[in-house]
Amino acid sequence: MPRWLRFILPAIAVFATAVGLTVVSTPAYAASLTTVSSFGSNPGNLTMYSYRPDGLPANAPLVVAMHGCTQNATDYFTNAGWRKYADLWRFALVLPEQKSANNSSSCFNWFETGDTARGAGEALSVKQMVDYAATNYQVDRGRVYVTGLSAGAAMTAVMLATYPDVFAGGAIMAGLPYRCATSTTSAFSCMNPGVDKTPAAWGDLVRSAYSGYSGTRPRVSIWHGTSDTTVAPANATELRDQWTNVLGVSQTPTATSSLPGGTSLANYGDKVKVYLVSGMTHATPVDPGSATEQCGTAGTYYKDTICSSYYQALDWGLNGGVVTPTGSPTASPSPTPTAGPCVRASNYAHVTAGRAHQSGGYVYANGSNQAMGLYNVFTTHGLQQTGANYYVVADTAC
């Protein structure tokens, strides 16, 4: 530093103090992920983290985001993309965290009956986190949403089933149907190859989670990679069957469209949406970059395909109508059920004829990906063609 500047700087400082001048600078970013030490009785022994962006308005929405196995709240907060949109569109985040004392792999216990019932265990702990946020952050109780990956996704299904009066919507990322498993042993077979139930049987499990509930139920989004070998893609179909039955819509989509990253979207009456990401393994879909529709960090359980947090935030209206998705698809109506032939045959014959495909010993209809049971010559189904290489199960029609 020049000698003259060393002499003049103190003089400037004295002058500024004398006349009351202040130096204007960009304020430090204040918001950070914060541990909440006490939020209720916490019967599930979970840890609560919260994030309130600077300038959070009263009655802002709230998103509950749950990590997968071997992850933690900080990991999901940092990489899944939700922080970007909480900052951009001003909504709060709550990130529950599992403890290794509860599960050696830090998985939420989505398969333990004591943790998946209304008013008990981990489910009640997460609900108490929402109550804490509603009271202390003044979030809008009518705009509370829940999402998660893998075990966190299965726990998302738990929350939607047990507390339909709390959540307006949920997004299940590589997850499983509610009450697909009720023990550690059954959890593995549920994950892969999956469990096949009728839509009504799946729906009954949800309805029994809050018996007698007659209010509005949350909308459900299902995201899954087609190359997921940890949680088989068949679970996306079973989830679709479960929630379309609960919400009273057909298992045939009312519209289909394409999104970036090889993602197909099937819309079931705007109540259930299924996003299948072509070639993606077990992960949360992200799309690193600075554009509004880009988010997240690629990694082991975060695959560079599409920013699921962006599209999910838009679907829930968290942007307040400010931004229209870049290159948003125009939905195309699904073909009518009478568009093609209806064929009844064995699962083996359907696969051989190219109407269905098999994975892990189970058969799925081409296009709709509806589960058809075991790959053999004894199980038979009717398949109705509704479009180019698109078939739906139509046992009563064929």
Structure tokens at 68: 């997968």
Q: Taking Cα atoms as reference points, which of 186, 151, 167, 178 lies closest to residue 76?
A: 151
Single-letter amino acid code for the residue at 199:
P
- For residue 43, CA distances in Å to 40, 50, 118, 126, 380 come to 9, 19, 12, 10, 46
Structure tokens at 357: 């495909």
CA dihedral 105, 294, 172, 355 (to 10 degrees): -110
- 308 catalytic? Reply is no
Q: Taking Cα atoms as reference points, which of 52, 18, 22 lies closest to residue 36?
A: 52
Within 137-276, residue ranges assigned H as helices are 151-162, 184-191, 199-207, 234-247
The one catalytic residue in 50, 125, 150, 368 is 150
- For residue 223, CA distances in Å to 143, 304, 327, 344 come to 21, 14, 20, 30
- Catalytic machinery residues: 150
